[in-house]
C-alpha cells in the first residue's frame, strides 16, 4: 500500500487530470487554472471553482466566529473568480454539521456568507458525526476576451501583487500562539476577495497572466511559471509587508513569502504598462525556467522558500 503523502496533493491532482483529460468537452478548460471555463454563447463564458474547508485542518471551531467562517468560506471561492477576471454570479453551499451546533451558530454563518451579496442558488445540508465540513462552488461570468489565465507570462513582464502579503499567515500564528493581534487575525478570518481589482485588471490588455495567492507567493507563482514556461526573479526588498506584520514579532518575510491564505491577486504585465496602485515585486525571465531566483537588492540570495502543500 502506497500512502497518499508520497505523491502529495499536486501528484494526486496530476493523476486525476490525466485520467479525465479525454472527457473534457472541447470548448471547455478544466483543471489547471483558478477556475474551469465553460463557454456560453459566442462571446461569454462561465467560470466555476470549488473549495472545501475542513474543521481542524482549515479552521479551529473555537477560534473563529461562525460569521467569520461563513464569510471566509465564500471569500476563498470568490477570490478564484476574481483571479479569472470574472464577475461573481451565483454560489452553491454544502455543509455537514454535528448535532451540537446551535441555530444561532447557523444564523451567524449565513450572515457572514451573505455579506458578499452573491446569490446562493442551492446546496446540501447534512449531519456529520463530529466535525464541520464546508464546500462552496462559485460561478462567475466573463467576456471571453477578458479571461486571465496562468499561462501567458512572457520574459520581461513585470510581476505584481494587489496587496501586502503575509498578514493572514501572521493572523494564524497569532491565533495558534495565543498572542492575539486583532488586525492580523482579521486578515486571516475575514479575507477580502479582490473582485474589483480582478475586474479592473481583466479589461487591461497588458495583463498577461493572473492568479490568486492562496497557498503563499512562493508556492503559487510556480503555477504561472510552469503554465507559461518561464522563470522569475523576485526582489525581496520590494515585497509589500504591512507595518502590523513587521511590528508583530513574527518572521514577517518568511510569512509574506510562504504563508497561505492571502487571497490577493498575483499578476504579470507587459514591461511598459504602469500600475501605480499595485506593488511590482519582480520580473519574468527567459532563464531559470520554472524556478524563482530570490534577490536582495538585485543580488541572488541562497535562501529558499516554499509555500504550503496539503498531505
Decide: is 99 part of the binding site for its own copies (CB under 8 A): yes
Classify residue 287 by burial, with Cβ atoms within 10 Å: 0-12, 13-18, 19+. Answer: exposed
Q: Taking CB under 8 A as the criterion, which residues in 137-176 touch its own copies? A: 137, 139
Q: Taking CB under 8 A as the criterion, which residues in 108-127 touch its own copies? A: 110, 114, 117-127
CA atoms of 138 and 49, how far apart (whole Å):
5
The rounded Cα 268 to chain-centroid distance in angstroms is 16
Decide: is 203 part of the binding site for its own copies (CB under 8 A): no
Using alpha carbons, list the distances in angstroms from residue 128 to 16, 61, 94, 95, 96. Answer: 27, 14, 12, 9, 5
Assess contact for 211 and 34: CB atoms under 8 A. Answer: yes
CA atoms of 202 and 55, how far apart (whole Å):
34
Q: 174 Cβ partners below 8 Å, 6+ apart?
A: 180, 181, 184, 185, 188, 248, 250
The annotation status of 33 as a binding-site residue, yes or no, is no
* Binds its own copies by CB under 8 A, chosen from 61, 63, 65, 94: 94
Cβ-count burial 59-80 (b if 16+ within 10 Å, e if not):
beeeebbbbbbbbbbbbbbbbb
Nearer to its own copies, 19 or 299 (CB): 19
**Within a 10 A sphere around the Cβ of 219, how many other Cβ atoms?**
19
The annotation status of 262 as a binding-site residue, yes or no, is no
Decide: is 60 part of the binding site for its own copies (CB under 8 A): no
* Binds its own copies by CB under 8 A, chosen from 74, 86, 95, 269: 95
Using alpha carbons, list the distances in angstroms from residue 78 to 28, 48, 90, 162, 277. Answer: 20, 10, 10, 15, 21
* Binds its own copies by CB under 8 A, chosen from 179, 182, 205, 310: 310
Find the shortest distance in angstroms from Cβ 18 to its own copies: 10
Q: How far apart are the first and last CA of the chain?
A: 16
The annotation status of 237 as a binding-site residue, yes or no, is no
Find the shortest distance in angstroms from Cβ 304 to its own copies: 24
Nearer to its own copies, 110 or 275 (CB): 110
Q: Taking CB under 8 A as the criterion, which residues in 32-51 touch its own copies? A: 35-36, 38, 40-41, 46, 48-51
Where do the DSSP E strands lie in 129-288?
133-143, 158-161, 207-212, 231-235, 265-269, 279-285
Decide: is 303 part of the binding site for its own copies (CB under 8 A): no
Find the shortest distance in angstroms from Cβ 38 to its own copies: 7
Stretch that binds its own copies, among 97-105, 195-203, 242-250, 275-283 (CB under 8 A): 97-105
Nearer to its own copies, 129 or 302 (CB): 129
Find the shortest distance in angstroms from Cβ 238 to its own copies: 32
Find the shortest distance in angstroms from Cβ 23 to its own copies: 4
The annotation status of 56 as a binding-site residue, yes or no, is no
* Residues 228-267, mask of contacts with its own copies (x by CB under 8 A): ----------------------------------------
Find the shortest distance in angstroms from Cβ 165 to its own copies: 22
DSSP SS3 for 41: coil
Determine the size of the site formed for its own copies (CB under 8 A).
76
DSSP SS3 for 6: helix
Annotated binding site: 34, 49-51, 58, 80, 123-124, 150, 212, 214-215, 261, 308
Amino acid at each position: 500500500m502506497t500512502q497518499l503523502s508520497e505523491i502529495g496533493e499536486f501528484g494526486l491532482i496530476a493523476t486525476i487530470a490525466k485520467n479525465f483529460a479525454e472527457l473534457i468537452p472541447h470548448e471547455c478548460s478544466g483543471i489547471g487554472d483558478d477556475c474551469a471555463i465553460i463557454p456560453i454563447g459566442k462571446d461569454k463564458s462561465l467560470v466555476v471553482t470549488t473549495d472545501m474547508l475542513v474543521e481542524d485542518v482549515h479552521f479551529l471551531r473555537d477560534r473563529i466566529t461562525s460569521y467569520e467562517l461563513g464569510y471566509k468560506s465564500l471569500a476563498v471561492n470568490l477570490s478564484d473568480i476574481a483571479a479569472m477576471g470574472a464577475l461573481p454570479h451565483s454560489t452553491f453551499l454544502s455543509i455537514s454539521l454535528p448535532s451540537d451546533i446551535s441555530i444561532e451558530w447557523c444564523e451567524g454563518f449565513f450572515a457572514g456568507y451573505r455579506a458578499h451579496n452573491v446569490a446562493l442558488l442551492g446546496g446540501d445540508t447534512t449531519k456529520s458525526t463530529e466535525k464541520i465540513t464546508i464546500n462552496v462552488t462559485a460561478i462567475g461570468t466573463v467576456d471571453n476576451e477578458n479571461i486571465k489565465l496562468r499561462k501567458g507570462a512572457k520574459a520581461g513582464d513585470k510581476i505584481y501583487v494587489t496587496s501586502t502579503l503575509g498578514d493572514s499567515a501572521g493572523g494564524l500564528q497569532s491565533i495558534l500562539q495565543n498572542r492575539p493581534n486583532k488586525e492580523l487575525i482579521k486578515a486571516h478570518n475575514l479575507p477580502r476577495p479582490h473582485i474589483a481589482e480582478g475586474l479592473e485588471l481583466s479589461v487591461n490588455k497588458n495583463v498577461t497572466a493572473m492568479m490568486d495567492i492562496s497557498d503563499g507567493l512562493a508556492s503559487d507563482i510556480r503555477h504561472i511559471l510552469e503554465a507559461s514556461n518561464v522563470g522569475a526573479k523576485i526582489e525581496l526588498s520590494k515585497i509589500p509587508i504591512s507595518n502590523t506584520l513587521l511590528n508583530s514579532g513574527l518572521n514577517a518575510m518568511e510569512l509574506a513569502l510562504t504563508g497561505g491564505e492571502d487571497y490577493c491577486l498575483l499578476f504579470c504585465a507587459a514591461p511598459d504598462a504602469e500600475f501605480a496602485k499595485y506593488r511590482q515585486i519582480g520580473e519574468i525571465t527567459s532563464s531559470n525556467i520554472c524556478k524563482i531566483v530570490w534577490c536582495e537588492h538585485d543580488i541572488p540570495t541562497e535562501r529558499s522558500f516554499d509555500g504550503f502543500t496539503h498531505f
